[in-house]
Structure 1
Amino acid sequence: MASCYPRGRFGNLVPARSRPVQKKTLTSLFSDYLFRIPDYQRGYAWVKPHWLDFVQDVDGLVDEEVRGHYTGTVVVYRQDDADSTADVVDGQQRLTTSCLYLSLIARELVARGDRGYQRAVEAFLFAEGRCRLELNNDCKELFHDLLKHGRSNTTVLTPHGKRLVQALDFMTVHLHTQLQARGETAGDYLQALYNALTQKLHFTFYTIEEECEIGMTFELMNSRGKDLSVLELLKNYLMHWASRNGHKHGTAQALTATLNRSWKTIYGNLGTCTGNEDQCLRIAWTLYCSHSPKNWVGYKGFKESQYIPLRDFSLRNERETREFIVTFAEGLTEVSAEYARIVTPSAATTTPGELTWLTKIHHTGNIANFLPLLVSARKCRNDRSLAEDHYIELLRALEHYAYRVFLFDGRKSNTGTSRFNYLAYRMFHGKLDVAAVISEVYGMARYYSSDKGFKTWIGEPDNWYHYRYLLKYTLYEYELYLTEKEGKGHRAKIAWEDLKDSTLEHILPQTPAADSHWRDVWDAKNTELYLHDIGNLVLTHNNSNYRNFDFARKKGSAGSGYSYSNSDIRQERKLALFEDWTPLECEERRQTLVDWISTRWGSPYAVEAAPEAFAGDLDEDADE
């Protein structure tokens, strides 16, 4: 099969079938074509700095009365036998933003009595009921609603959908601020804005007619420093590889189709979660290429000779490279699916036990370290090489590690990364069973947070209030424990998302009144010892309701309004069992908590604290 890139006189590849570059305005663009964002492209990605630059550029066209402004490139792919619809290869962010702003300006003009603009914008943005620019990744209907009505008729769930709504909100605030500031000239300003958007924004436009040219176009965009994510950069490089090397064996078209299909699924998966593309790709690199964090250099690492070389096939020949590309592209779709379910877990995508423990790990604030291992474990569970109960036990071990190493011992967030990645890689490739992984996780926890140090610190009163996050997590887990133990299936009455400083109550107040009962039962020594200790701290809905009242008033009685006795928080209601709150009662409660903490986060069974097999990896992470 002949290449679609004949060589020029200097050996460079030049597009064989691309139309001449043209300069177009928004009006001429939409007069000639209907545009579609392909599903394999990422969704809407612009954020506030991009929106601000855009509206300021348009304002400059109005205020400075310039004749035109170059705003970027639009590259489309269109087959000869296609209708007037073209796939946008480059320029989708700016086109999308332009349409949103134009619809907003037109609605404002219509609201001010210029009804002619309604027909004009209908013809400009729509054709026979469909948008002249159709978005991808489940945003087509949302975009239609925003252009047509200025609002969404459905709940917006995906990150790129939310960014569309946020973009319109931002531009709405900007426009109304400008209109208010311009007073009597606001109407003229609106008309000038409309003309500037439709006539003065200039785009460099060209069409490519061979699908394999897309790869070359992407690589050119990369070399010019386009603001692309590593996931986009890799896709562009792989499509460039397909266009350059695939023609030799007649595989360019099939490989391009595989890449497009995979990236469509990947972007769809990532659109359902709060994660990010770079993190997802790094996990795939860890599982398919190298588990050492030091070897991650972004998408450029994939171009090395041992992975996906473009020209130097000394370490991996073309056939092996092509097979690896297919394996990796299809594997990345699986990684993205598991990643999405881990970073944004829900009852619909996880089992009950999994949701419970994933949520706990999220609450520790340190899930990133575990992501490759979690993705690997989910993959093994899906393959039925890992039983559900063993998977849950692994999650318990990771939560234990997060509590002991990050929350209790205060280690850096990358602590253990090298070893976790190694365990993930070995498990992913079937070279390590889960029992060995679980044992190592507990051993790593003991290496960084010794049992002796753990028991010593919790054994004596200390300033838990200083370590707020540790305190909140511990008390919240205690509330979940009490609810499960005593609540007969009920849920905790306080949500993790509601926790803040005002939901932490000092039973002995920090500033008791001079004539209060507190002064009679608490001397200065015991006050200093216990005031900020966990024995004197409890979760509440709002500590301002208690202020520095005496214990009898805080305790209250059932049905008596805001009081310990009447609280729906179980650990708070347990305080009502005490007749008074003196150092004796405080010590009794702290001992109950310490016993529970020791059981909950103590080492579950004997393991070596620092097996020689991984001590080097751990020291490496500790030094980073």
Structure 2
Amino acid sequence: MAIIKQAARQTLGQLIGANNPAVTVPDDSQRQYAWTKKEVDVYWADIKKFKTARDSGRDSASEYFIGPIVTITDKKVSTRSLLDGQQRLTTSTILIAAIRDALWNMGSTEGTSTANNLHRDYIARKAGRREPMEYFLVLSLFDRDFFRDYIQDWNESTGRCPGIERPTRPSHKLISEAYSNFSSKISMELSSYSDDEERLDWLDGLRECLINGLVFVEIQTPTSSDANEVFETINSRGKDLSTVDLVRNFLMEKSRSEAEKQRVNDAWRIILDGFEKREEIERFLRHFWVSRHGDVKSHSLYSTIRQTLSDDFNKIPQIYGVGAFAAELEAASTRYIDLINCSTGNNEFDASLSEIKSLSADALYPLLLAASEKTNYAELQDLIEASISYYVRWTVVGRRESTLLEEKIFGAAKSMSTSARMDFTLRQICDWIPDDEVFHADFTEASTPKTSQSRYLLGKIEEALRVRAGVDEVVVANSSVVHVEHIYPQKPSLETRLDEHDAWVNRIGNLTLLNGKKNQSISNLSYSHKSSIYEESMLLVASTTGTSRIWDVEKDWWRVEGIAERQRDLADLALSIWPSGKQWS
């Protein structure tokens, strides 16, 4: 049971004010800045609504409770380490900086003076000319330098921050985007006022709302273990967003030496620098765990990791420790980045990875991650091709239960991480692929409402048609100048609308590819008016459609049996594009 020294009401000004001990995010805990435009917009809307109510003078609108924060404090509360609340305090500081800069940019003596005072009181100051800068909010090592350079190291003479540091991590970009977002919103608000006096009053009202109206409950704990327990209670209940941070905090808690803590930080630095988006890091962590332990759902990922690793770390003698896990996680992250970015350096394998990306077949990554630890990418070509055939035949075309595919793939990944040989796993995948008879039947009836999957299927068919015709192969699946076209239109006129519209509009036989930007007015024409566009197309999947079998010229009406006939022809071709397991037996 966690020990709580006290839970005290604190305004924002009391938390990060100049006369209070600095709030420091310790290097061995806490996540990086993670609020996107969505969270920043909600925060701004709440503050703006609060300001309007507060300006009305109602007692009920005098404070706005923004939630609890968790700190580790010493007996005299001379130091405060922040374990939970970083996002809200960081965002609040960014908004204060945006107010500061808006005041300075007004160009008046009062605006400049108020900006300087705001900065010294709630962002950073120097006690003396030769004294070091005192920062009232100190972020962890992953964001500290950038936050200082972009928000806190403000020059009172120029009204600017150095801006030397480049945003190299996702969190850095989010910090700069939050600042730009706030600056734009403030500028828009100020544009509605006619003179500087009104603008100064509005900015001062916004400042006062933040400093004196924004209220937290600071939960003070004596030790990091107490703080961690409170932090987990607040954050771990079904919140996928904090899984990565909870895992890092847990590893720090279990570290037995400073060297182990440094190993965790080194691994996290590599991970943070390698991924462009935070969601990718969350997905990697789950796929890494799945690749070694089998399926686990996102909502229970942290509790599963904590329980399993606690059992391993607590064994006497300890065979597997924090350092070993951190090293494995780091090594896996570099391979995972290669997989999702299609950048392994093997052209054939990267082309197959591009197919997985086009299909959004994320379920295949744990298997490839496990396999890539055992051998080089060139030797994984048969495995990735068989996996893609399995995914297309089972999920994309067959529309069978995707959870069954995931269960099998995740189980195969776990087996490969332990003892299974590559040839055994490949045979497993081949045995799971629906046979030609089943696949052909599925394909002749299949609809693909997802444009990305339709583009992928038609792109592969186009490649096969060009190979069969002996013409130069072209890449079309991901081309920005090629779009998916509905032959029988998505929005036909009332005169040409089929009674069974929904049954036919997304059938594969009703889809083709066309060059050029999609033109809605052309797309919704009847076939007789646009058939020449298909016949003149450089793409064979369009030019070989066949006017007579899709549109009955005499009856001036659609031939749905022609769509079905075309789909059967495409099904014949699909058998060789996505082979059965016999291909690799």
Provide TM-score, normalisation by structure 2: 0.72
* Residue aligning to 2:360: 365
What's the CA shift string for 1:373-395, capped at 9, x where partnerless? Answer: 12112222xxxxx2433312211
Q: CA deviation at 1:191?
A: 0.6
Q: Which amino acid aligns with 2:284?
A: C
The 1:341/1:388 distance shift into structure 2, 3 A limit, reads closer
The 1:291/1:193 distance shift into structure 2, 3 A limit, reads same
* Residue aligning to 1:504: 485
The 1:29/1:22 distance shift into structure 2, 3 A limit, reads farther
Q: CA deviation at 1:475?
A: 0.9
Query: 1:413, 1:150 → 2: CA distance?
Result: 51
**Does structure 1 residue 52 correspond to structure 2 residue 29?**
no
**What is the SS of the residue equivalent to 1:410?**
coil
Mapping 1:508-527, distance limit 5 Å:
none
**Does structure 1 residue 440 correspond to structure 2 residue 428?**
yes
Q: CA deviation at 1:221?
A: 2.0
What's the CA shift string for 1:546-578, capped at 9, x where partnerless? Answer: 6536658642xxxxxxx3466454533556999
Q: Which amino acid aligns with 2:315?
A: N
Structure 1 unaligned regions, length at least 5:
1-11, 79-83, 243-250, 381-385, 519-523, 556-562, 609-624
* Residue aligning to 2:284: 280
The 1:364/1:155 distance shift into structure 2, 3 A limit, reads farther
Mapping 1:331-346, distance limit 5 Å:
331-342=328-339, 344-346=340-342
The 1:100/1:533 distance shift into structure 2, 3 A limit, reads closer
Matched-pair contact (CA < 8 Å) for 2:489–2:523: no
Q: Which amino acid aligns with 2:395?
A: F
Mapping 1:140-219, distance limit 5 Å:
140-141=145-146, 144-145=149-150, 158-168=169-179, 170-172=181-183, 175=186, 187-201=200-214, 213-219=223-229
**Does structure 1 residue 258 correspond to structure 2 residue 269?**
no
The 1:167/1:234 distance shift into structure 2, 3 A limit, reads same
Query: Which stretch has the larger CA shift, 37-46 or 290-299?
Result: 290-299
Q: CA deviation at 1:538?
A: 1.5
Mapping 1:86-101, distance limit 5 Å:
89-101=83-95
Query: Which stretch has the larger CA shift, 566-575 or 370-379?
Result: 566-575
Q: Which amino acid aligns with 1:106?
A: R
Q: Which amino acid aligns with 2:317?
A: R
Matched-pair contact (CA < 8 Å) for 1:75–1:89: yes
**Does structure 1 residue 291 correspond to structure 2 residue 294?**
yes
Query: 2:507, 2:295 → 1: CA distance?
Result: 41
Q: CA deviation at 1:372?
A: 2.0
Q: CA deviation at 1:189?
A: 2.5
Q: Which amino acid aligns with 2:337?
A: A
Matched-pair contact (CA < 8 Å) for 1:361–1:398: no
Mapping 1:185-584, distance limit 5 Å:
187-201=200-214, 213-225=223-235, 229-242=242-255, 251-269=256-274, 271-273=275-277, 275-288=279-292, 290-291=293-294, 293=296, 297-304=300-307, 307-309=309-311, 317-320=315-318, 323-342=320-339, 344-347=340-343, 350-367=345-362, 369-380=363-374, 386-429=375-418, 431-446=419-434, 450-458=435-443, 462=445, 464=447, 471-481=454-464, 488=472, 490-492=474-476, 495=478, 503-506=484-487, 534-540=508-514, 541-542=517-518, 544-545=521-522, 547-548=524-525, 554-555=531-532, 563-564=533-534, 567=537, 569-573=539-543
Query: 1:299, 1:579 → 2: CA distance?
Result: 56
Query: Which stretch has the larger CA shift, 36-45 or 538-547?
Result: 36-45
Q: CA deviation at 1:601?
A: 1.7
The 1:473/1:188 distance shift into structure 2, 3 A limit, reads same
Query: 1:509, 1:300 → 2: CA distance?
Result: 46
Query: 1:528, 1:418 → 2: CA distance?
Result: 32
**What is the SS of the residue equivalent to 2:373?**
helix
Q: CA deviation at 1:180?
A: 7.0
Query: 2:416, 2:88 → 1: CA distance?
Result: 43
What's the CA shift string for 1:308-357, capped at 9, x where partnerless? Answer: 149xx9xx634326x33332232222233333333x3144x553223211
**What is the SS of the residue equivalent to 2:486?**
strand
Query: 1:511, 1:207 → 2: CA distance?
Result: 65
Structure 2 unaligned regions, length at least 5:
127-131, 155-159, 553-558
Query: 1:581, 1:151 → 2: CA distance?
Result: 67
Query: 2:16, 2:104 → 1: CA distance?
Result: 20
Q: Quick one: which of 573, 577, 583 aligns to 1:600?
A: 577
Q: Which amino acid aligns with 1:197?
A: L
Matched-pair contact (CA < 8 Å) for 1:272–1:340: no
Query: 1:138, 1:484 → 2: CA distance?
Result: 52
Q: CA deviation at 1:199?
A: 4.9
Query: 2:448, 2:6 → 1: CA distance?
Result: 68
Query: 1:199, 1:330 → 2: CA distance?
Result: 46
The 1:591/1:236 distance shift into structure 2, 3 A limit, reads closer
Query: 1:581, 1:374 → 2: CA distance?
Result: 46
Query: 1:89, 1:529 → 2: CA distance?
Result: 55
* Residue aligning to 1:612: none
Name the Cα RMSD after superposition.
5.1
Q: CA deviation at 1:398?
A: 1.5
Q: Which amino acid aligns with 2:285?
A: L
Q: Which amino acid aligns with 1:218?
A: N
Q: CA deviation at 1:433?
A: 1.7
Matched-pair contact (CA < 8 Å) for 1:287–1:425: yes
Q: CA deviation at 1:536?
A: 4.9
Q: Which amino acid aligns with 1:255?
A: E
Q: Which amino acid aligns with 1:285?
A: W
The 1:568/1:255 distance shift into structure 2, 3 A limit, reads same
Q: CA deviation at 1:588?
A: 8.4
% identical equivalent positions: 17
Matched-pair contact (CA < 8 Å) for 1:158–1:272: yes
What's the CA shift string for 1:122-181, capped at 9, x where partnerless? Answer: 545456998945565478547744777799999967543443355345545654676578
Q: Which amino acid aligns with 1:298?
A: L
Matched-pair contact (CA < 8 Å) for 2:9–2:217: yes
**What is the SS of the residue equivalent to 1:300?**
helix
Query: 2:402, 2:390 → 1: CA distance?
Result: 12
What's the CA shift string for 1:493-512, capped at 9, x where partnerless? Answer: x7367877xx3131799969
Query: 2:62, 2:502 → 1: CA distance?
Result: 73
**Does structure 1 residue 116 correspond to structure 2 residue 79?**
no
Q: CA deviation at 1:102?
A: 1.1
The 1:160/1:354 distance shift into structure 2, 3 A limit, reads farther
**What is the SS of the residue equivalent to 1:237?**
helix
Q: Which amino acid aligns with 1:432?
A: A
Q: Which amino acid aligns with 2:229?
A: E
Q: CA deviation at 1:453?
A: 2.1
Q: How many residues matched? A: 538
Q: Which amino acid aligns with 1:56?
A: D
**What is the SS of the residue equivalent to 1:417?**
helix
Query: 2:45, 2:502 → 1: CA distance?
Result: 57
